A and B are shown apart, each in its own frame.
Chain A
Amino acid sequence: MPMLRCLFSFLLALAASLAASAQTPCQLCQRVDQLLGDTLFRHAFVGLYVYDLTADSLLVDRGATLQMRPASVMKTLTTTVALHRLGGSYQYMTRLYTTGSIKHHRLRGNLIVQGGYDPRLGAQDIQQFVQALRSRDIRRIKGRILCDVSLKDTLPRGWGWCWDDDDMRQTPLLYDGTDTFAPRLLAALDEAGIRYDKRDRVTSTFQWGTTIVDALPADGAATQIAVVRRPIDQVLVHMLKESDNTYAESLYYQLRDSLHGHYPSHVVPAGIITDFVRDSLHVSPSTFRIADGSGLSLYNSLTPQLVGRMLRFAYRHPEIYSHLYPALPVMGRDGTLKSRLRGTPAQGNVHAKTGSETGVSTLAGYCTTASGHQLCFAVFNMGQITSAPARHWQDRLVLALTTP
């Protein structure tokens, strides 16, 4: 009798476990298969990669090796590489230097601001700079006021951007995200009663940048008198939640080596990202192209598989994941996903980056299935005139992944 009972429970257990495992992956695969038969794909391409992080297995791979424009999903790759390389405690630095000497309230030398491409630099920070001058009792600058913008090349826009993209001039010294730092600094000096030679007054940091290749003397004769630090997290949250292009470009140009010298072009960070993808994600460089950090460029191309592997890599590296995950938009709650799928099981569950360009619609991130499995996914839709049908399809996809 105990033997029989044993056998019985054995069978029960078998059935139960079969049912349980059938419910998670296969049911999901079936749902996704059904979605992939949508009439949308008569006109449009799709690449889809879904990975079960909990079970450590691939769930869906449809056209995942197709190269496509990632649009703003590119920002997650920029973020992952930045976190991997620079670390989560990295800080943007905007430094204020003086050269020469201070005598009788006069600075007999230059005042140099070294741009760190801090997109959040604003009024407070300029006040901090002015304060540093006042605390040294400088009331007159006898030399020049220089802006060192050698952090990146002097191109006003990213490589492969359209001329009618309405983005701000990309320069490593910004004020509230715009190219108005120099006039703001001069205005603050005026207000503080610090006099300077008005003949040298110029209005564009770009002009300053072109005239000064190395504002800082090589012999280290400059003295740092102030520095504004910006933790990377403060940049990431706005960059990913709101898909801010300037923020993404600023992070992109933090990726550099001292070897690369001044005014590095877009290929320097691209090379660093390419190395990461090859070495850490084990994806061949012949299957993708990087041209900027924001995804605006026409010349970016990634595969859903690459993005999926990157998300998996990030998940397995807490030092990346703990910064990346909280910065992603949350479905139905905030950022670019704020008004999508409210009142569904996906709300609050899906944390993902959106991407949207003409003819391109992408989504990549994390979600949890009804059975508690953590998934990462990357979906690229391409070839639709308007993004609404593609976004709608993506919504159905993440619903299929998250509903019981």
Chain B
Amino acid sequence: MTDPIQDRFYSPLRLIFLSLCALLLMPSLAIEGSTQSAVVAVQVRDTVTYAADTTGTDTVAQASPEIGWPQSFIDEVRYQVSHADFLKSSQVGMLFYDLTADSVLYGYGEHQLMRPASVLKTLTASAALSQLGGSYQYQTCLYIKGEVADSVLQGDVYIVAGFDPRFGSDDMQAFVQALKDQGIYRIAGQVYTDVSIKDTTTLGNGWLWHWANDEIPLTPLLYNGHEGFMQKFYEYLDEEGILHPATFARAMLPSGGTRLLVSRTHSIDQILMRMLKESDNLYAESLFCQLGAQDHTPYADFTHGQRYIKRFIHDNLRLDPNDYEVTDGCGLSTYDLLSPYLIVRMLRYVHSNPNLYLHLYPSLPVAGQDGTLRNRMKSGTAFTNVHAKTGSVRRVVTLAGYCQAANGHEVCFAIFHQNVNSSRQARNFDDHLLQVLTR
């Protein structure tokens, strides 16, 4: 039985109290506008819990409240991270590691997977140095098959491509000279190019189709870092009066019956210097290809190079390679995903291995002085102090390398920005942090 009086009172009262409750709940049902600036990102701020994924001496140690550290740096990074306006709409991950004290200096979102852009080149370089060695040589070879009689090669010429972007005029001269030395003035057979060092795709995996206009095609037979090797070869032959067939064909070097005439080489250091200082994508892809070529699989695709990078991540950096993705050597690929943490671990690994460090460090751009850092940090304490690889693709800005902090400690760092509207803003942010770190 319902009481009519109660009902009459009940409904208006209930209305009043509902609205009262709504008022009470206002803070939790925050108006949209007021919350806009409140939340920057759901990034993990409690950064340094590395014990689980590492073992023994390779553990990146917990931050220690060491005396003598510029607390002002940490305060400044914290301030910048929470106040920089552009970080409200973009993602950032960073890790600063004190190599001298062997401890984390500061980390923020350093496990987040982001596009490394050209910072990936340092990983490609380290993996290559580790797997191929610092004395590795790029090779381009000239073979002949058949006998030479009366200045005529009764057989074929084979050019085995080695994806050497530094192959130039003196090398071409040496090729032609080698034929002359054999007394060859006519090639009666065919000229073959063996380009089986990599597959025939001319763009890297995960590149955009319209980059075909901007990037040099990834073909393993290059002359001065461009296409047109065979055209140039025939020009040189013509100059020396060596008769050759009008065309050439693609074929793999037969397993027997051939004779090596000449092999032209370039050292890995020559490649690294330009690849890292100037962030040359072709050079990086050629190095990625050298890694994949270790499998000796004809026309190997990107997964072969990828396997060596992943092996480096597993064996040397002691991280799970399945947590990361690498599909090219230069960082253009939209599929590449790394974390600042991985890059710092790599920089630390390289630092502790002179075999790698002696090749990598001199190849990094120097702040305010050369390479892609030529026009950055041209003054202040970071000038010539910071040696780091830059990364820049659309809406992505990255930086990773070494510097010496104010207290004389060696520091390695990686800073990844993603989805930034103005790359200048992000670059200035990074430069500022490094100035404070070294001050």
Using a CB–CB cutoff of 8 Å, the interface residues on chain A facing chain B are 2, 5-6, 9-10, 13-14, 17-18, 21, 25-26, 29, 36, 41-48, 51-52, 55, 57-59, 61-68, 155-157, 159-165, 286-287, 289, 298-299, 301, 303, 305, 358-359, 382-385
- Evaluate contact between B91 and A301: CB separation under 8 angstroms: no
Assembly CA distance A221 to B315 (angstroms): 74
Assembly CA distance A18 to B88 (angstroms): 35
* Contacts known (A58-B29, A58-B32, A65-B88); A17 close to B14, Cβ less than 8 A: yes
Task: Choose among B35, B89, B114, B334 the residue that contacts A358 (Cβ–Cβ < 8 A).
Answer: B334
Smallest CB gap from B334: residue in A: A298
* Contacts known (A21-B18, A25-B28, A46-B42); A13 close to B113, Cβ less than 8 A: no
- Evaluate contact between A25 and B29: CB separation under 8 angstroms: yes
- Evaluate contact between B113 and A67: CB separation under 8 angstroms: no
27 examples of A-B residue contacts, CB within 8 angstroms: A10-B17, A13-B13, A13-B14, A13-B17, A17-B18, A26-B28, A41-B43, A41-B44, A43-B112, A43-B339, A44-B112, A51-B32, A58-B29, A61-B39, A64-B39, A66-B89, A66-B90, A66-B419, A67-B90, A67-B419, A157-B209, A159-B210, A163-B211, A286-B421, A359-B113, A383-B114, A384-B113
Task: Choose among B5, B9, B17, B209 the residue that contacts A14 (Cβ–Cβ < 8 A).
Answer: B17
- Evaluate contact between A359 and B337: CB separation under 8 angstroms: yes
Using a CB–CB cutoff of 8 Å, the interface residues on chain B facing chain A are 3, 5-6, 9-10, 13-14, 17-18, 21-22, 25, 28-32, 35-36, 38-44, 88-91, 111-114, 203, 205-212, 322-325, 334-335, 337, 339, 394-395, 419, 421
Residue numbers in B under 8 Å from A14 (CB-CB): 17, 21
Task: Choose among A52, A67, A161 the residue that contacts B208 (Cβ–Cβ < 8 A).
Answer: A161
Task: Choose among B18, B39, B211, B337 the residue that contacts A383 (Cβ–Cβ < 8 A).
Answer: B337
- Evaluate contact between A43 and B111: CB separation under 8 angstroms: yes
* Contacts known (A21-B18, A63-B39, A157-B209); A44 close to B89, Cβ less than 8 A: no
- Evaluate contact between B209 and A161: CB separation under 8 angstroms: yes
> Smallest CB–CB gap between A171 and chain B, Å?
15
- Evaluate contact between A298 and B113: CB separation under 8 angstroms: no
Smallest CB gap from A359: residue in B: B337
Task: Choose among A9, A287, A301, A303 the residue that contacts B395 (Cβ–Cβ < 8 A).
Answer: A301
Assembly CA distance A383 to B92 (angstroms): 12
Smallest CB gap from B22: residue in A: A21
> Smallest CB–CB gap between B204 and chain A, Å?
9
Smallest CB gap from A26: residue in B: B28
Residue numbers in B under 8 Å from A47 (CB-CB): 41-42
Residue numbers in B under 8 Å from A64 (CB-CB): 39
- Evaluate contact between B41 and A45: CB separation under 8 angstroms: yes
- Evaluate contact between A358 and B36: CB separation under 8 angstroms: no
Assembly CA distance A46 to B39 (angstroms): 12
Q: Which among B9, B29, B44 has the greatest number of chain A C-beta atoms within 10 A? A: B29
> Taking chain B's interface residues, is the majority helix, strand, or loop, or is none over half, making it mixed?
loop
Residue numbers in B under 8 Å from A161 (CB-CB): 208-209
Assembly CA distance A2 to B3 (angstroms): 10
> Smallest CB–CB gap between A344 and chain B, Å?
25
- Evaluate contact between A29 and B28: CB separation under 8 angstroms: yes
Assembly CA distance A161 to B40 (angstroms): 29
Residue numbers in A under 8 Å from B206 (CB-CB): 162, 164, 358
Residue numbers in B under 8 Å from A18 (CB-CB): 21
Assembly CA distance A2 to B41 (angstroms): 55
Smallest CB gap from A64: residue in B: B39
Assembly CA distance A130 to B207 (angstroms): 43
Smallest CB gap from B49: residue in A: A42
Assembly CA distance A59 to B40 (angstroms): 17
- Evaluate contact between B112 and A298: CB separation under 8 angstroms: no
Task: Choose among B9, B32, B207 the residue that contacts A6 (Cβ–Cβ < 8 A).
Answer: B9
Assembly CA distance A63 to B37 (angstroms): 10
- Evaluate contact between A45 and B31: CB separation under 8 angstroms: no
- Evaluate contact between B208 and A61: CB separation under 8 angstroms: no
Assembly CA distance A47 to B395 (angstroms): 18
> Smallest CB–CB gap between A15 and chain B, Å?
9
- Evaluate contact between A45 and B42: CB separation under 8 angstroms: yes
- Evaluate contact between A42 and B209: CB separation under 8 angstroms: no
13 extra A-B contacts, CB within 8 A, seeds A163-B212, A301-B419, A385-B113: A10-B17, A17-B14, A25-B25, A44-B112, A45-B42, A57-B31, A66-B90, A162-B209, A164-B206, A289-B395, A358-B325, A358-B337, A359-B325
Residue numbers in B under 8 Å from A164 (CB-CB): 205-206
> Smallest CB–CB gap between B307 and chain A, Å?
16
> Smallest CB–CB gap between A12 and chain B, Å?
9
Residue numbers in B under 8 Å from A155 (CB-CB): 210
Assembly CA distance A305 to B32 (angstroms): 10
* Contacts known (A2-B5, A44-B113, A161-B209); A63 close to B21, Cβ less than 8 A: no
Task: Choose among A10, A52, A66, A298 the residue that contacts B41 (Cβ–Cβ < 8 A).
Answer: A66
Task: Choose among B13, B42, B212, B323 the residue that contacts A63 (Cβ–Cβ < 8 A).
Answer: B42
> Smallest CB–CB gap between A280 and chain B, Å?
16
- Evaluate contact between A42 and B337: CB separation under 8 angstroms: no
* Contacts known (A25-B25, A46-B42); A58 close to B419, Cβ less than 8 A: no
Residue numbers in B under 8 Å from A21 (CB-CB): 18, 21-22, 25
Residue numbers in A under 8 Å from B208 (CB-CB): 160-163, 298
Residue numbers in A under 8 Å from B18 (CB-CB): 17, 21
Assembly CA distance A46 to B112 (angstroms): 11
Assembly CA distance A318 to B244 (angstroms): 75
Assembly CA distance A287 to B6 (angstroms): 55
Residue numbers in B under 8 Å from A63 (CB-CB): 39-42
> Smallest CB–CB gap between B15 and chain A, Å?
9
- Evaluate contact between A358 and B335: CB separation under 8 angstroms: yes
Residue numbers in B under 8 Å from A2 (CB-CB): 5
Assembly CA distance A63 to B112 (angstroms): 14
Assembly CA distance A317 to B384 (angstroms): 60
> Smallest CB–CB gap between B187 and chain A, Å?
37
Residue numbers in B under 8 Å from A298 (CB-CB): 208, 334, 394
Residue numbers in A under 8 Å from B207 (CB-CB): 162-163
Smallest CB gap from A308: residue in B: B32
- Evaluate contact between A42 and B111: CB separation under 8 angstroms: yes
Residue numbers in B under 8 Å from A26 (CB-CB): 25, 28
